[in-house]
Amino acid sequence: MQKLPIGIQSFEGLRTDDFAYVDKTKLVYDLIHNGKYIFLSRPRRFGKSLLLSTLKAYFQGKRELFEGLAVSELEKEWESYPVLYIDLNVGLYTSNEGLWEALNSNLSFLEKTNGITKETNDIAQRFRDIIWNLATRTGKKVVILVDEYDKPLIHAIDDAALQQEFRNTLKAFYGNLKTCDEYIRFAMLTGVSKFSKISLFSDLNNLQDISLDERYADICGLTAEEIESTFGEHLEAFAQKEGTTKADIMEQMRKMYDGYHFSKTTSKDMYNPFSVLNALAQCDFGNYWFSTGTPTFLVKLLQNGEYDLQDFSNGDLLASDLAAKESLSQEPLAMFYQTGYLTIKGYDKELELFRLGFPNREVEQSFLKFLLPRYTGNTDNRSSAFIGYFVQELRKGDIESFLSRMKSLFANTPYELVRDLENHYQTVMFTICRLLGYYTKAEYHTSNGRIDMVVKANQFTYVFEFKFNKTAQEALAQIDTKEYALPFQAEGQKVFKVGVNFSKETRNIDDFIWKEA
């Protein structure tokens, strides 16, 4: 079997060292021959760096690396160009000096490798000098590739003053892509986010954004067909270890790592490449992508903002708002989408409205597990240990134990975590039930009103009604009066009606009552 390219970002290294490669070169060819200034947004570890490395090898004329790939049949004229590759992945972006150091390091390398003498300390001017020097010396236009252009901006997302400094610096630096147009053959910027309404992109109005272009929806990431055709032997080995079939392994892959959409039509389901490759290597379905970077600042934003978790995981967003704003507080869902924690689930063309949701089980389960301690204050993993007990109790129909354990979980919630008591406790209960892997629907609409929460677990359906500073009896009476349980009784499962009251004084569940429908 060929080696799995986990973490491999060098196209040349991948092709010369017997790593498996999913052929994306037809898309690369189309991109090069249909555009000049390109921008692409994708979540981290989706293959953006490998894509830029592939473009670098192509423009350097390294034809031998592309033998047997689609582009070898498409490209008739292989020509080399000077390539300027700038990587902002690494940097200490805690000050504008840190950004200067990162840019200086990139430019110093380009100056040294191309025999160019530095004439000034001004970052933007040095970049312009390098472009001009290489173009005039070689007689060929320059190719510019920028990896993770937005890393400094993401790092300073909650520091408005620092981000403004970064924007000023980057505006002048990236402005060369427009002012040096006559010397540039091709340019591409990649990153996690496209920041709207900032000088960087308002000035670079010559950039073609392909982030939602259906033609390039699969330029990064993996399709099911690509996994099966390129990694068939690895799938077979995985299946043999598990004592199952390749089809079963692919079905688990689909549930765990599929579900990303990068176009309005949502026609192409994309798998997370980092998680797929790690699962194939270890023959185990783990939460590989999530564990490489936790969304601490995004969770903080969710807690401090106006978003209920149930709304967040099924959110609507105008097409005009899908690009990240200068401040996350303006439209945080855009950042959750662009960072990969939410994806496109549907698009209403008439309203120009995107429906967002969790892409797959890995992201949903990992995100909720990460979120739960931050909503309950139990950061010693005690809340995570409770999950197994919650599962057993709902499976058995043991509501008494389930809600008693929930009271214990709520008991130590710090005062400062809770902005809205009633909403807070409903959110935590919703989070736990979703974590259990069961069907959970908040604000379930019926002909008579809205049920606070419905949970389906094996042969049981639970209809919850929550009250705040009232009584559990009142909650249960509302279920009866409005016949909330009626739609579920025809489904053949045992239905429980559960009334719960939260107390402002005790900051917990003070009473609950239940009965079978």
- Average pLDDT, stretch 255-264? 94
In the chain, the N- to C-terminal Cα span, in Å, equals 57
How does residue 431 score in pLDDT terms, banded at 50, 70 and 90? confident
Ranked by mean pLDDT, the top range of 104-118, 184-198, 292-306, 334-348 is: 104-118
The whole-number pLDDT of residue 383 equals: 52
DSSP designation for 84? E
Q: Which residue matches tokens 């995981």?
A: 313
Residue 453 backbone zone (phi > 0: left; psi -120 to 50: alpha; other: beta): beta
Sheet holding 83-87, edge to edge: 83-87, 142-147, 184-191, 37-41, 208-209
Name the residue with tokens 């949903």: 364
Sign of the alpha-carbon dihedral angle for 24, 30, 35, 36: positive
The packing angle between helices 123-138 and 160-174, to 10°, is: 20
Q: What value, to the nearest 5°, has the Cα angle with vertex 85 and ends 82 and 91? A: 155
Tokens found for residue 362 = 């890995």
In tens, the pLDDT along 53-90 reads 999 999 999 999 999 999 999 999 899 999 999 999 98
The Cα–Cα gap between 403 and 224 comes to 41
Cα separation, 300 vs 223, in Å, equals 33
| pLDDT above 60: residue 322 | yes
Interval 118-163: pLDDT, tens? 999 999 999 999 999 999 999 999 999 999 998 998 888 778 889 8
Range with lowest mean pLDDT among 32-41, 134-143, 225-234, 375-384: 375-384
Percent of the chain with pLDDT over 70: 87
What single-letter amino acid sits at 441?
K
pLDDT tens-digit readout, 436-487: 666 677 667 777 788 888 888 878 999 999 998 899 999 999 999 999 999 8
DSSP 327-386: STTT-HHHHHHHTTSSEEEEEETTTTEEEEE--SHHHHHHHHHHHHHHHHS-TTTHHHHH
The reported pLDDT for the residue numbered 39 is 93
Domains belonging to the chain, first-starting first, are 11-216 (3.40.50), 224-291 (no CATH), 296-361 (no CATH), 377-516 (3.40.1350)
Q: pTM to 2 decimals?
A: 0.85
User: Does pLDDT of 425 surpass 80?
Assistant: no
Q: pLDDT exceeding 90 applies to what percent of the chain?
A: 56
pLDDT at 23: 97
- Please give the DSSP secondary-structure letter assigned to residue 63: G
In sequence order, the 6+-apart residues with CB closer than 8 A to the CB of 502 are 421, 422, 425, 466, 467, 468, 469, 508, 509, 510
And the tokens for 317? Answer: 């967003």
Which letter does DSSP use for residue 244 in this model?
A: S
Q: Are 480 and 445 in contact (CB under 8 A)?
A: no
**DSSP state, 41?**
E
- Compute the distance between CA of residue 281 and CA of residue 303 in angstroms, rounded to an integer: 36
304 DSSP 8-state letter: H
